[in-house]
Amino acid sequence: MSETAPRDPNYVVIHDTTLRDGAQMPRIDFDLEDRLAIAERLSGMGVDIIEAGFPFAVEGDFEAASAIAETVGGSKISALSRTRHEDIEKAWMAIEPAKDRGGTRIHTFIGTSPTHMRDKLKMTEEEVVQEVRSGVTKAREFTDDVQFSPEDASRSDFNFMMRVILEAVDAGATTINVPDTVGFAVMGEYAARLKAVKEQIDERFGEGLVVVSAHCHDDLGWSTANTLMALAAGARQVEVTVGGIGERASNTALEEVVANTSERPDMFGGIHTGIDTTKLTGVYREVMKRAGLPVQLNKAVVGRNAFAHEAGIHQHGVSQNVETYEHMRADRYGQTAAEMVIAKLSGWRGVESRLKSIGIEIAPENLKAISKKAKEMSDRLGRQMADNDIEKLAAAETGEALHDRYRIDGVDAQELHNVGSARIQLTDTASGRKLEASANSPKEGAIDAVRIAINKAIGFDGDMEDWEAKAREPGSKARGGIYVLVKRNGDSVQAYDEATSVNQASAKAYLDAINMIERIKGRQLQPVVEPQDVQT
Ligand code: MN
How many Cβ atoms sit within 10 Å of the Cβ of residue 186?
A: 14
Ligand 1 centroid, distance to 181 Cα (angstroms):
5
Give the Å distance between the CA of 240 and the centre of ligand 1.
Answer: 9
How far is the C-alpha of 160 from the C-alpha of 165, rounded, in Å?
A: 9
Q: Which regions of 417-479 does DSSP assign to beta strands (E)?
A: 419-428, 433-441, 463-470
Triad 487, 306, 288: Cα angle to 5°: 65
The model carries a pTM of 0.89
CA–CA separation, 58 vs 90, rounded Å? 12
pLDDT > 90 fraction of the chain, expressed in percent and rounded: 87
The average confidence (pLDDT) of the chain is 93
Instruction: Please say whether the beta carbons of 509 and 497 come within 8 A.
Output: yes
C-alpha 216 to ligand 1 mean position (Å): 7
Measure the CA–CA gap between 498 and 388, rounded to whole angstroms: 13
Ligand 1 centroid to Cα of residue 80, in Å, is 11
Cα(168) to centroid of ligand 1, in Å?
19
| Cα 245 to Cα 71: distance, rounded to the nearest angstrom | 24
The pLDDT tens digits for 187-201 are 999 999 999 999 999
pLDDT, tens digit, 9 for 90 and up, residues 335-371? 999 999 999 999 999 999 999 999 999 998 899 999 9
Cα(182) to ligand 1 centroid in Å equals: 8
| Distance (Å) from CA 192 to ligand 1 centroid | 19
Mean pLDDT to the nearest integer, 172-191? 98
pLDDT band of residue 1 (cuts 50, 70, 90) is: very low
* Residue 92 Cα to ligand 1 middle (Å): 21
CB under 8 Å to 456, separation ≥6 — which residues? 437, 439
**Domains in the chain, ordered, with CATH?**
13-291 (3.20.20.70), 308-398 (1.10.238), 406-522 (3.30.160.270)
For ligand 1, the distance from its centroid to the CA atom of residue 179, given in whole angstroms, is: 7
From residue 388, alpha-carbon distances to 13, 165, 357, 410, 501 in Å are 45, 61, 12, 21, 20
How remote is the CA of residue 384 from the centroid of ligand 1, in Å?
A: 39
Query: What's the whole-number mean pLDDT along residues 49-61?
Result: 96
What is the model's pLDDT at position 527?
Answer: 53
Q: Are strands 175-179 and 146-151 parallel, antiparallel or unpaired?
A: parallel
Distance 245 CA to ligand 1 centre (A): 10
Q: What's at 315, amino acid-wise?
A: Q
Q: How far apart are CA 501 and CA 450, in angstroms?
A: 13
Nearest to 220 by CA among 260, 254, 252, 256: 252
- The arithmetic mean of pLDDT across residues 60-74, rounded, is 96
pLDDT of residue 508: 97
Span from the CA of 41 to the centroid of ligand 1 (angstroms): 22
Given pLDDT bands bounded at 50, 70 and 90, which one contains residue 474? low
- Per-residue confidence band for 534, with pLDDT thresholds at 50, 70 and 90: very low
Q: Distance, CA 297 to ligand 1 centroid (Å)?
A: 25
Q: How many CB atoms lie within 10 A of CB 372?
A: 13
Q: Where are the alpha helices (DSSP H) in 81-124?
A: 85-95, 114-115
Please write the tens of the pLDDT for every residue from 237-269.
999 999 999 999 999 999 999 999 999 988 998
Distance CA(64)–CA(82), nearest Å, equals 18
Expressed in angstroms and rounded, the spacing between residue 437 Cα and the centre of ligand 1 is 48
What is the radius of gyration, based on Cα positions, of the chain? 27
Q: How many angstroms does the Cα of residue 109 sit away from the middle of ligand 1?
A: 11
pLDDT, one tens digit per residue, over 519-528 is 999 988 765 4
List helix spans (H) across 340-492: 348-357, 364-381, 387-398, 446-458
pLDDT the model gives residue 479: 73
- Centre of ligand 1 to C-alpha 206, Å, is 28
- For residue 436, list its beta bridge partners: 425
Ligand 1 centroid to Cα of residue 126, in Å, is: 25
- CA 201 to ligand 1 center in whole angstroms: 23
Of 102-106, 131-135, 166-170, 502-506, which range is least confident? 502-506
**What per-residue confidence (pLDDT) applies to 372?**
96
pLDDT tens per residue, range 293-317: 999 999 999 999 999 999 999 999 9
Binning pLDDT at 50, 70 and 90, where does residue 106 land?
A: very high
